[in-house]
Amino acid sequence: MSVIKFAEKEINEIEGMVKFQIESNTSIKGIVIHSDIYAKKYQWERPISKGFVDEDKLINEVIGRLFWYLWIANKTAFALQYEEEPGFFVNATESKVSPKSCTLKQLREKIGSLSYNLFTNDGHYFVSEEWYELFEDIIAGINSQIVYALEERHL
């Protein structure tokens, strides 16, 4: 198994594709809203915002943080695999990733590649369990939407 290091641009593209699907797909949005990470962030934000929490902004923050962690995990796996300095903060920019139009199949391909490239040969990954669970839940949601669409076509 070889690890491919994703560039920031590639991570941003996948993040944008996920954001697009969240805007147009209520089930994937629901996965984020029902995650423990979102709930903790919501509880923390609520008193600060005097009871009004902008859910869309909060979802974007959660997704942005998730993909930043995944980028760092990918760089770490690559660095350990090839004994190379990971350069965590070299060329890192603070960017606002916009939704990027895509089909669920296109997103599944890109996100599947990222998922594969988070692991070293010995199966280690470097993102906390709660964040990785959210990532897995998003992937499962994408896969179930694809299966649902295929089943609907055959009815």
pLDDT digits (tens, 9 = 90+) for 55-94: 999 999 999 999 999 999 999 999 988 888 777 666 555 5
Fill in the amino acid letter for 120.
T
pLDDT of residue 91: 59
Band (117; pLDDT cuts 50, 70, 90): very high
> Is 121:81 a contact under the CB 8 Å cutoff?
yes
Of 141 and 49, the one with more pLDDT: 141
As a whole-number percent, the residues of the chain with pLDDT over 90 amount to 68
pLDDT of residue 46: 83
Fill in the amino acid letter for 114.
L
Name, in order, each residue with C-beta under 8 angstroms of 104's C-beta and a sequence gap of 6 or more.
21, 25, 142, 145, 146, 149
Residue 134: how many other CB atoms lie within 10 Å: 23
Determine the Cα–Cα distance for residues 142 and 112; give it in Å rounded to an integer.
11
The b-or-e profile of 94-122 (16+ CB within 10 A means b, else e) is eeebebbebebeebbebbeebbebbbbee
Name, in order, each residue with C-beta under 8 angstroms of 36's C-beta and a sequence gap of 6 or more.
130, 133
Determine the Cα–Cα distance for residues 96 and 75; give it in Å rounded to an integer.
21
